[in-house]
Amino acid sequence: MLNGKSATVTGSTSGIGLGVARAFAARGANVVLNGFGDAAEIAKLRKSLGPEHGVSVAYGAADMSKADEVVGMVEQATHDFDRVDILVNNAGVQYTAPVHEFPAERWNAVIAINLSAAFYAIRAALQQMLARNWGRIINIASTHDLIASVHKAAYVAAKHGIVGMTKVVALETATTGVTCNAICPGWVLTPLVQKQIDDLGEREKLAPQAAKTKLLGEKQPSLEFARPSRSPRQRRSCAPRGRRRSGASRCRSTAAGRHNRQSELAP
Ligand code: NAD
């Protein structure tokens, strides 16, 4: 389905990004992985993922908090596979603290990784997509593009920001074969969320299951986590004719219960 295409997925050594990268490989795309982690584990992942699906898998170690490394990753991906057809801006970090205690360096890091990296990657990749008149840009946002939570000033600001940027890019490419969409997952059980469960348990002296239930209860009435392999349905966003959702925020939230509710906001 995506044979011959090349997908670059940032933050794909773990969690949602890894699920997305696996799904693209399974559909025949060559994949560029990115993210931190144990070098041996990453090498093992590359070695297994490629042959499993008959695709090539590269790895870029770029630190998404550094603009020049983000651009370098896109250039390297273009060099390795001759193209970047699909760009998934997924890398993300979380830090929680009341706003008056929020360390400035943490604010800068969350904004750099969760928001600015997507800008630099899009800027670096868009021209070649436009030249081929085909490209798919998918930004992994969050339900936090629509709502807020206490102690997450930087994360919520970054997620609101990335949806705004998605709308602008979608408008600017609206007459072309390039699409730009955001996916806004609810809670997905990944290392990023496990850390929040652990912190909550420690802070409020809760057993692991009680901490999980309390965290889910804030915004996910189903009280169930989604799984990384199921969260973003990139298949539709990357279909050859691509369903255009220009300027729309595509929200996959379990706020309405077990079944995902999708809502779209006009620009
Ligand atoms: P995760 O911690 O499992 O994965 C994060 C990935 O980003 C890892 O591969 C990590 O190495 C990489 N990363 C972190 N900092 C980086 C940096 N400076 N440079 C390069 N890579 C870096 O987290 P996840 O839950 O899979 O989150 C992925 C995305 O999904 C994030 O943007 C997050 O905000 C979003 N999201 C997650 C949830 C959830 O419930 N898990 C919900 C909504 C949105």
Do the domain assignments include residue 217? Answer: no
Q: Can you name the residues that pair with 9 across neighbouring β-strands? A: 33, 88
Return the ligand 1 atom nearest residue 12 CA.
9
Return the ligand 1 atom nearest residue 63 CA.
19
Do the domain assignments include residue 56? Answer: yes
What are 60-77's pLDDT values in tens digits?
999 999 999 999 999 999
**What's 43's domain CATH number?**
3.40.50.720
Do the domain assignments include residue 26? Answer: yes
How far, in Å, is the centroid of ligand 1 from the Cα of 131?
30
- Nearest 10 degrees: Cα torsion 58, 179, 156, 252: -90
How far, in Å, is the centroid of ligand 1 from the Cα of 51?
26
Do the domain assignments include residue 67? Answer: yes
CA distance 185 to 249: 11
Do the domain assignments include residue 197? Answer: no
- What total of structural domains would you count in the chain? 1
Do the domain assignments include residue 203? Answer: no
Cβ neighbours around 253 below 10 Å, total: 20
- Residues of the domain holding 125: 6-187+228-263
Q: Which residues line ligand 1 (CB under 6 A)?
A: 11-17, 34-37, 63-65, 90-93, 113-114, 140, 142, 185, 187-188, 190-193
Mind telling me the catalytic residues?
155
Nearest CA to 190 out of 8, 24, 35 is that of 35
Q: Which residue has the tokens 């709502």?
A: 147
How far, in Å, is the centroid of ligand 1 from the Cα of 128?
26
| C-alpha 33: how far from chain center | 12
Do the domain assignments include residue 195? Answer: no
Do the domain assignments include residue 192? Answer: no
The DSSP element (H or E) to which 59 belongs, if any, is strand 57-60
Angle at 225 between CA 182 and CA 47, to 5 degrees: 70
Q: What is the pLDDT along the chain (267 residues), one digit of tens a residue?
A: 899 999 999 999 999 999 999 999 999 999 999 999 999 999 999 999 999 999 999 999 999 999 999 999 999 999 999 999 999 999 999 999 999 999 999 999 999 999 999 999 999 999 999 999 999 999 999 999 989 999 999 999 999 999 999 999 999 999 999 999 999 999 999 999 999 999 999 999 999 999 999 999 887 878 889 888 764 444 455 555 544 443 434 443 322 222 222 322 223
How far, in Å, is the centroid of ligand 1 from the Cα of 175?
31
Query: Whose C-alpha lies nearest to ligand 1, atom 39?
Result: 188
Helices (H) and strands (E) in the chain, counts: 9, 8
**Three-class SS of residue 6?**
strand
